[in-house]
Amino acid sequence: MYQMKEAILCKYGEVILKGTNKKTFENQLMNEVRRRAALVGDYTVRYNQSTVYVEPNNEEAEDMLDVMYAQIGKVFGFAGICRAAVCEKTLEAILEKAKEYLPEKLAKYKTFKCTAKRSDKRFPLSSPELSGEVGAAILETIPDITVDLNEPDIIVKIEVRETYAYIHAGQDRGAGGMPLGSAGRGMLLLSGGIDSPVAGYMMMKRGMTVDCVHFESFPYTSEAAREKVLTLASELTEYCGKIKVHIISLTHIQELMRDNCEEDYFTLLLRRFMMRLASKCAEENHCEVLVTGESLAQVASQTMKAMCVTEDAADRPVFRPCIGMDKEEIIRISREIGTFATSILPFDDCCTVFTPKHPRTQPELAKVLVEEEKLDVEALVEEAWLTRNTVVLYQEL
Ligand code: ATP
Ligand code: MG
């Protein structure tokens, strides 16, 4: 018979503050943990009192606990996660387990404190009595460690729950944010750059389900540029499990713009076409908002005026999670989430095709509209819309 030795405990983040709809958030959180658990092995996932328990059901799953723990670290909605030794709910078993499990965990610390919690009030010792017993066992087994009740280097926690007792020391930060799927759907305009994958991640972190739309301009942009974007999207599946990428061609629009419109307005006109097509794509895929990687004043097309002109062509709100971030901060997040190396691969984006030498930084909408009238906007949108195709990507371990 398999006897579980270690489990993963995950503590809720903001979900804890929810009222009557807490259950919905909990279910979303559980779905995401279960989805990941199924990728790794045979685990039982359950929750109790603002903690999710991930428990191996066999030796193989126990051996994969490192991998499972890394997966749990990417689940939005948890503030803290830890591994815990599991044992029977008797004082004897708890003390034996503490002596076996804790020396390695406490090795690098000088002072500690024990706290105990019983959700099973039938347990014969009170919480202070239990923490006293475990504290004494630690002092006995680990040389040179002392108790500090006020400012311990590490806190040892014993939790006597309904089926087992859990012993753990120290916890890691969870991914934070809100459970995936808890905050509606958005359509992310995903380029091959650094910023838009970060924008997608930021929204996922707040619980948004994200679809992507990518615009290309073949043959001015390459097959490799498309592959790069798909790689970025599959890197984002690390955080959301599944992602759809809709790809739309802007080639004809860009050629007509080049032939008919004033060069200074190329980027703005292009971005307005992106907004219209992204809005259509959002409508078709039930996304209530658009999401971009824009950051105030980063480039000519991201001045406040330019963004107003761009947004005017969208039929729904545009979320810009990077709006107040410096490039440096965006790059830091990009490195942390693992998209940076792909983002800096040197392939052209349709925004860099026919780039104006002197892009307008303080554009007037009226002037932009005059340029736009030189094109049959509606027909071009319909034509580009027909070029769309969709790729669905899934997380792989
Ligand atoms: P990024 O690093 O995300 O490419 P950027 O700083 O290079 O951003 P722009 O190229 O001006 O800025 O693009 C601003 C935003 O417009 C991007 O963050 C992205 O959301 C969207 N965007 C730009 N190009 C494309 C594209 N080819 N397909 C889809 N969205 C795009
Ligand atoms: Mg870009």
Domain CATH for 306: 3.40.50.620
Mean pLDDT by groups of 10 residues along the chain of 397 residues: 94 88 93 97 93 96 98 98 97 97 95 94 94 97 94 96 93 96 97 97 98 96 96 98 98 96 94 98 98 94 94 98 98 98 91 86 94 97 98 96
Q: Return the pLDDT at 373.
A: 97
Give 3-state DSSP helix, strand, coil % of the chain, rounded to 5.
45, 20, 35
CA of 195 to the centre of ligand 1 (A): 7
Closest CA to 205 of 13, 396, 37, 397: 13
**Domain final residue pick, 121, 149, 173:** 173
Taking residue 151's Cβ as centre, other Cβ atoms within 10 Å add up to 7
Q: How many domains does the chain have?
A: 2
**Domain final residue pick, 173, 206, 240:** 173
- The tokens describing 151, both together, are 């400012």
| Domain ranges, residue 95 | 6-173
Q: Return the pLDDT at 347.
A: 87
**Burial of residue 361 (number of CB atoms within 10 Å: 0-12, 13-18, 19+):** middle
Q: Return the pLDDT at 19.
A: 86
CA-nearest residue for atom 16, ligand 1, is: 292
Q: Are both 214 and 115 inside the same structural domain?
A: no
Taking residue 307's Cβ as centre, other Cβ atoms within 10 Å add up to 19
Closest CA to 392 of 168, 212, 193, 138: 212
Atom of ligand 1 nearest to the CA of 322: 18
Identify the residues whose C-beta falls under 6 Å from ligand 1: 189-191, 193-196, 214-215, 274, 292-294, 298-299, 301, 349-351
How many angstroms separate the CA atoms of 69 and 74, rounded? 9
Q: Please report whether residue 179 resides in a domain.
A: no
CA-nearest residue for atom 22, ligand 1, is: 191
Q: Please report whether residue 1 resides in a domain.
A: no
CA of 34 to the centre of ligand 2 (A): 35
